[in-house]
Chain A
């Protein structure tokens, strides 16, 4: 049972009092953020990035990861009670969850969401524990061409599967890649796009850009009007389910777990796509499809399970290949880089305590999620009454002061302000900031791998296609570009997710 040894030592990392506290804090903060309209998990993680400097790498990722899947559940609460998705992955829950609330069944809706999330997350973690080491071993054979292809695939899929128009996401990604070139050429050291400014010669600080685009940008966008709150039902009851509810939903939960796990691994996949796919699957499988949209519990159970499963399995490409596959993970990738621990195939070998610590914290985090969700729903509902006009200036000041803690550089705060305005304008004009950040984070790796590949191929670009692994990835990219069936799902994504703040 030798392979169990690192898994068990990972639990040693998790079960220290401070890490347990970070896990709990992360899940709690995530749930609160998911509930509060306006800030999404991306913005919150961006805001907390400066803090991760002060703490251990494993603890930092445990905290941030907790926020991610905690937010998945928090967004459910507002979807069910207010028909307002707290974040993009909860949009599907508004279909049936809100209807259930209007029928006085808010308790069972929230309950099955919590249980489904727990089961989906746990199944996904088991899969991750088994699959990741194997994948990392395989990835050790990756060379620069493979990394180039994979990074491109990730950016492409995020653009294609996102909630905005594809061409606009491509533009946003291109801008992100361009911003990544500011500073010194990674291989030759030449100054690029610095306009003679010393501040720019080190490049744009990723944390400042992220905090500006997602933190400040999001706040400015929501400032434009004040959202007020209206509830579907006055009494929530207990967030728990009956045996018959469980009997109806357990199939959906099982299917959602598997579906979510596999979709989460895909670059570009994540909670949103998984929840959409699960809803479509359940509706197609059901013997009474007309019940969907009117309060069918499978319409909540399946998607909620799937999106938590996907949120967890989406860590696999990050931790094993070193490729973040959605904007949230791009931030985590940045956080790990800041700590001097580059994620990738060597992570398991060189820093096993980080890898297994993070993975095992997910088990614990899911348990926290389940335990917290039952009693705390009432508290969260009260939270919704805090007005945005109070939260906004506080969050803005935290952002501004927080970014200063990284480099003690006022220039970084200017970057936050600048990108805050950019983020606001982007959203007004229908551009997604997510692809920009993902591309920005991947920009350096992508360029370095690309240029190293050119050297390997001695300038012959067709080399990308002839190498088996990178060739396969490129074929996958082509399939993605050409497959019109995706367009159908995407059309529904855009229409439904239009009002969701803070995609994650």
Chain B
């Protein structure tokens, strides 16, 4: 192993690991962690504070409509009202005082597109599986995630997708007896 000099303990500084020689036995490539995603712009802090504030205010209004009552005679809205106040107040505190902690907010990278597509595929799964049983939609989702989102080879994709679907069938239908809508052997 080559000399590296004392590295900072625990600090996931990209420079440290980039220095590890790639020919090292047992080495694959460099890990990328979420610490390396760039920080988001100032808009992120605004959104992060205003969304909870909006939720807080909205539920405050709803709670009042439910009927707050009084401390001696609590109505159904009393508790939600109290919580909404805490929520709204904290959001304001965050908005005003939280501006310094910009490093909390991560930028939405291209990977976010992957996630959006993944979620859409899950929505499609929901629409399909009640009509055609779970096997086909499961297979399709797995293929989509493995091949198109994950970049796996066709061989791996087919093997894993078919294999996993079969295992799910055995697990959920045969072993657990769950009444999942299914088409095989029904």
**A→B interface (CB under 8 Å):** 51, 54, 82-84, 91-92, 94-96, 98-99, 102, 164-165, 167-168, 170-171, 174-175, 177-178, 181, 185, 188, 190, 192-193, 220-221, 223-231, 233-234, 293-294, 385, 387, 389-390, 392-394, 396-398, 400-401, 404-405, 408, 410, 413-414, 417, 420-421, 424, 428-431, 447, 450-451, 454, 458-461, 496, 498-499
Contact = CB atoms under 8 A, between A and B. Distances in A.
A193 B97 contact: no
Top 5 nearest A-B pairs (CB, nearest first) are A430-B104, A389-B150, A224-B111, A393-B145, A459-B72
Given A171-B94, A459-B73, 13 more contacts: A54-B176, A178-B87, A192-B76, A224-B34, A228-B29, A229-B31, A231-B27, A293-B9, A390-B160, A398-B168, A454-B72, A496-B10, A499-B33
A234 B83 contact: no
B10 A95 contact: yes
8 contacts: A170-B86, A192-B66, A193-B80, A225-B109, A389-B146, A405-B176, A430-B105, A454-B72
Interface of B: 1, 4, 6, 8-10, 12, 17, 20, 24-35, 37, 40, 44, 47-48, 52, 55-56, 59, 62, 66, 70-80, 83-84, 86-87, 90-91, 93-94, 97-98, 101, 104-106, 108-109, 111-112, 114-115, 118-119, 122-123, 125-126, 130, 134, 138, 141-142, 145-146, 149-152, 156, 160, 164, 168, 172, 176, 178-180
Contact of A430 (B12, B71, B101): B101
A181 B9 CA distance: 44
A103 to B, nearest CB: 9
Per DSSP, chain A at the interface is: helix
Nearest to B161: A393
Nearest to B33: A499
Contact of A165 (B25, B33, B98, B164): B98
B26 A178 contact: no
Given A228-B30, A408-B179, A430 B126 contact: no
B17 A223 contact: no
B141 A228 contact: no
A177 B29 CA distance: 43
B74 A451 contact: yes
Given A393-B145, A405-B178, A174 B86 contact: yes
B142 A165 contact: no
B142 to A, nearest CB: 5
B106 to A, nearest CB: 5
A218 to B, nearest CB: 12
B90 A170 contact: yes
Nearest to B71: A459
B12 A83 contact: yes
B10 to A, nearest CB: 5
A407 to B, nearest CB: 11
